[in-house]
Amino acid sequence: MPVTLKEVAERAGVSRSAVSRTFTDGASVSDKMRRKVEKAARDLGYSPNALASSLTTGRTKLIGLISNNFHNPIFLEVFDLFTRALQDRGLRPLLVNLSDETDPQASVRMLRQYSVDGAVVASSTLPPGFSKAFRDAGVPVVHSFGRYSSTPQVHVVGIDNVECGRMAARTLVARGYRKIAFLGGPESATSTQDRYSGFFSELGAHRGLTTSYSFADAYSFDAGRREMLRLLRAAPAEAYFCGDDVLSIGALSAIADSGLSVPEDIGIIGLNDMEMARWENINLTTIHQPIRQIVTSSIELMVAMLDEPDRYPEARIFPCSIVERGTLRPLC
């Protein structure tokens, strides 16, 4: 049987309320009392009951970690960073898969059933309405990898996807490509829309280019491979900006199976700089998204909101950079 709070109190010779205060963050208890209770707890092998503690404090320390693209390996990296960092702060992540969810209110109801203290929406494809629904329900929320706005309605931490599109376009033009294309993720995703917008606004400033675009139905390897195979059956471009790394890796697979070479026949640049992009057999030139900094900043905002729920929404945007590897021709 697990050791109870009453047994610790008897062992320490103190009241049960003294034991409860010792294991409640911010509660008043003398150093002498704390040492006595902690020694008794160690001797008996006692661990505080988190659920019982939540009844006393009104906080569960549960943070909903919400996403909708579990097919993309980049989110394994994202979830690893989030879960570790939340646990380091004494918080407990509750992972929620919204891959088939389209109703923000249903998501809010589900999270409230678990009495979460806050929610982190870790997605670049869920519409802003999901984050806003949590805010309107009084749940502190941060939208990580969300769409930048100068007047955000909720806290947003991420990158400027429009600028990333511009960076990709400048990189391809500087390497002498003249027949250039965009292979994006789902057309409805704000990340796809913004990367497309920046890409073609920059290409529009250069003469003598032939441009085209297409969209995959998901940010996934299979979707990228399938779309590139379709493009190769027509007249392929000289170089592609793929909407993210996993699309790029799918495209590389299609190009290789078609008997073509990268970068000799076709150039590819991705976005994210996921771990797989660095593998020797992939060696993808890409745009680095500072995922660790985004996660850290998101958790800083969440912790701040737990103490200050009415904190004014802010957007924290991190710069990206080109990572040169082996899927583009050298600079002209």
Radius of gyration of the chain (CA): 25
Measured CA to CA in angstroms, residue 66 lies from 46, 78, 134, 216, 307 at distances of: 33, 11, 11, 23, 21
Please give the average per-residue pLDDT across 83-96, as a whole number. Answer: 91
pLDDT at 130: 84
Contacts of 175 (CB under 8 A, 6+ apart): 239, 267, 328, 329, 330, 331, 332
Contact 33, 14 (CB under 8 A): yes
pLDDT at 295 over 90: yes
For 145-197, write each residue's pLDDT tens digit: 999 888 889 999 999 999 999 999 999 999 999 999 999 999 999 999 999 99
Q: Domains, the chain, ranges and CATH?
A: 5-48 (1.10.260.40), 62-159+291-319 (3.40.50.2300), 161-289 (3.40.50.2300)
Q: How far is it, in rounded angstroms, from Cα 19 to Cα 34?
A: 8
**Residue-by-residue DSSP string for 235-256:** ---SEEEESSHHHHHHHHHHHH
Q: How far is it, in rounded angstroms, from Cα 159 to Cα 15?
A: 52
- Structure tokens, 163: 């600028």
pLDDT at 249: 98
Cα-based torsion angle of the residue sequence 110, 112, 115, 119 in order, rounded to the nearest 10 degrees: 90
Q: What is the mean pLDDT of the chain?
A: 90
Q: How far is it, in rounded angstroms, from Cα 96 to Cα 77?
A: 16
Q: pLDDT band at 121, cuts 50/70/90? A: very high
For 28-78, write each residue's pLDDT tens digit: 788 888 888 888 888 888 777 655 555 455 568 899 998 887 778 888 899
Please give the average per-residue pLDDT across 196-222, as a whole number. Answer: 96
pLDDT at 157: 97
pLDDT at 123 over 60: yes
Contacts of 212 (CB under 8 A, 6+ apart): 181, 182, 237
pLDDT at 293 over 70: yes
Task: Work out whether the CA dihedral 20, 88, 101, 160 comes out positive or negative.
Answer: positive
Contacts of 230 (CB under 8 A, 6+ apart): 214
Contact 35, 43 (CB under 8 A): no
For 224-267, write each residue's pLDDT tens digit: 999 999 999 988 999 999 999 999 999 999 999 999 999 999 99
Please give the average per-residue pLDDT across 295-316, as a whole number. Answer: 93
Q: Is 9 helix (H, G, I), strand (E, B) or coil?
A: helix
Model pTM score: 0.83
For 4-26, write each residue's pLDDT tens digit: 778 888 888 888 888 877 877 66
Q: Burial letters for 135-164: b for 16+ Cβ neighbours within 10 Å, e otherwise?
A: bebebbbbbbbbbbeeebebbbbbbbbbbb
pLDDT at 328 over 60: yes
